[in-house]
Amino acid sequence: MKPVGMTQRCHSFPIVTIAVFSTLFFGFFLYNEYTNIIPFPDFKHQKPFQESSNSTNVKVQGTNEEHNDGKLEVETQGSTEEKYQESKDLNLNIAEEKDNGENKRSGLPLEECDIFAGEWVFDNGSHPLYKEEECEFLTEMATCLKNGRPDSLYQKWRWQPRDCSLPKFDAKLLLEKLRGKRLMFVGDSIHFSQMLSMVCMVQSFIPPERKSLSYASYTTVFKTEEYNASMEFYWAPFLVESNVDPPTMRDGTVDPVIKLESITKHGETWKNVDYLIFNTYIWWRYPTVKALRGSSDDDWATDYVEMDQNVAYKSVLKSWAKWVEENVDPNKTSVFFSSMAPSHIKNSSWNNTKGTKCANETSPIFNMSSPVDVGTNRQLFTIALNVTQSLKRIHIRFLNITTLSEYRKDAHTSIYAAHGGKLLTPQQKSDPSTFADCVHWCLPGLPDTWNELLYSLILSH
């Protein structure tokens, strides 16, 4: 099989230059890392929730520079954790509880503010927005406390934009905004997690008999009868069709092959949805991508060519943008595109040379004075930004969650996930270099922040 105007992967690996070798080696490293943690959650493995004995009650003690040397002392059940704060170098802020936990913040009007530029503030008054044990719809893929995680500080960080304030999340207000409407997340398992996050943020305000969550091969749908509204997820990790779309092919053991321009099949489900939120990133894990050359699904394994990852990504997003332009009514539907959610595989990125990936990380990266490089593919980021801004008829709102999420090395499921409904064994937990999931996120946690940002944009529209 010969490639047509594209590169084909070779069995040998000739070293041309040290730079080329380093780039490709890192690509292979990421591919092998993702192989163990990429699978889409088997969300049908749900068991009745039992409150974890590892849950902690966190109390923030005020810092005293004279007697406490700038340390942030956090008191938990039976132990005290000290988080060091260098007041001049680190952007670690503690939100004081005032006015029943609501923190008064001011600044520019929301529509004039870059809500994605800011800092993380420790806030045990207003966060988390819900409790893990109170949301029956969470899967064991994300219930880190139930799965044995001993700390809960990762739940208590609030995103504070630099020049304005996010509106306080109001579940009833969002439900009213969605009355008679559909909201759908489209993409990979990161978006599935964000969909569950939003469900948990609103479900406590809906009577048990008037809400439901259903699963199908490609879709997950949360319905609330009282508001005649739905929050949905549609599985399309590449947006276009691929051989990893079917449920039996999502375990990460199959080399993905995509159809560069085939999006109509998926798109039929997206039509007439009121809020569409797209993403595609974590499956783009290799420097080259296999693209189906023909049109038959029988040819996935043989009839493909390999092309540069950036070229393929741009081609896919152009196919997606063309579909949006031709099928979305801007008077009915609001369209969003989420930038890439980062992974935290290289602990050297935050100077923790004694650590192992994201395992045992209990606090964000505090030094936000300069960008942190955790390995996010910024070329794909730029492609996504340019394509979303190029549409003429439809305005795409770009959810720039990447940079703010890169500081959250503490928020991953790590060794406390349950792939396929099975927790890691003690032996597996002792080997985080192999088994720590530093791609997916605990709930409650970081995806709640993404939804707070989305909520702000929905309200301001």
Spatial contact of 172 and 458, defined as CB atoms under 8 Å apart: no
| CA dist., res. 39 & res. 54, Å (int) | 27
- Which one from 151, 245, 437, 448 is the annotated catalytic residue? 437
Is 191 designated active site? no
* Residue 461 a catalytic site member: no
Distance of CA 302 to the CA centre of its chain: 33
Nearest one of 354, 359, 343 to 424, comparing CA atoms: 359
Q: Which residue of the set 127, 334, 440, 448 is catalytic?
A: 440
Strand, coil or helix: 191: helix
SS (HEC) of 290-326: EEECCCCHHHCCCCEEEEEHHHHHHHHHHHHHHHHHH
Question: How far, in whole angstroms, is CA 109 from its chain's centroid?
Answer: 27
Which two structure tokens, joined as six digits, stand for 175? Answer: 């439900």
Is the Cα torsion angle 196, 200, 206, 207 positive or negative in sign? positive
Whether residue 252 contacts residue 34, with contact meaning beta carbons closer than 8 Å, is answered with yes
The reply to whether 189 belongs to the active site is yes
Which is the catalytic residue, given 52, 189, 242, 405? 189
| Sheet of strand 71-76: strand arrangement | 59-60, 71-76, 79-84
CA–CA separation, 453 and 234 (whole Å)? 21
Active centre residues (catalytic): 189, 437, 440
